[in-house]
Structure 1
């Protein structure tokens, strides 16, 4: 194992996931890359047709929002990578559906292992939506190291 890809998001438990993945990578003498997937930024905007006299965002506003979200995500990843205090660690910002983008980059980067956290979700939510972790596990050809995260 030479390359460990660690998936993080904005949830504070990502610190535990990054630490566990980084510790494992160091034991394996492997290269580390943190990855965050920015979901389609249009989800954060309001792309509705005119209604009740409201025109929604114009394209310039939407583009500014997209750029701001990317800049925020880049800063988040850079800060998280610096927090590892490992000058060899890298990071990657991907965009799209989380499971697909994560697996695509893992293959592109030739990752030997993907590290992910398992957030505690309700049983109903898991039945209705599923989880990113379960979708990754269904589709991956790369081993996945799951870091269990429990609510205290």
Structure 2
């Protein structure tokens, strides 16, 4: 039985090479008459950042500032993803047909990608991958590497041009 691809999760960091990776998701969506869900993960503020904020802002105000800041960031990322889809797909009809939803989710990128793929019932995850030195792979790993190892859903990794 051939694989049926109806929902594609395209995970992006909105970097300079996002159009290259998105092109693969669009090509597959057109071929399979599938829908694309665009996803951007907002990583949580690290311990160092929180400590710096606590030293400058009273604890009472910190949660409210974080909430307000996150709302602004989410709104801006949604705007950028919408503009990205317009720029890359051209016609409003094609956007409406191919891009089903734009999701901005908070958390560790690899976890967010896998959770969102499961939640929407994705048949494929499409994402870019940056090359890393052997030391980086041993110490840190990469989002793409973690997703491919942990995801029960097939993953298409698109190498970022010029970084091999």
Same fold by TM-score greater than 0.5: yes
Structure 2 residue aligned with 1:91? 102
TM-score, normalized by length of structure 1? 0.85
TM-score (norm 2): 0.80
Superposition map of 1:3-152 within 5 A: 3-40=7-44, 42-43=45-46, 46-48=49-51, 55-56=56-57, 58-59=61-62, 60-83=64-87, 84-85=89-90, 86-88=95-97, 89=99, 90-151=101-162
Out of 117-126 and 28-37, give the one that drifted further: 117-126
For structure 2, the residue ranges without an aligned partner over 5 or more in a row are none
Unaligned runs of 5+ residues in structure 1 are: none
**Deviations 1:52-82 (CA, angstroms, capped at 9, x unpaired):** xx53474243333222221222112222222
| Structure with the higher fraction of residues in helix conformation | 2
Structural RMSD (CA): 2.4
Distance in 1 (alpha carbons) for counterparts of 2:119 and 2:53: 41
Q: For residues 44 and 82 of structure 1, do their structure 2 counterparts lie closer, same or farther at Cα, with a shift above 3 Å needed?
A: farther
Please say if residues 45 and 62 of structure 1, whose CA atoms lie closer than 8 Å, have aligned partners that are also in contact.
no
Count of equivalent residues: 149
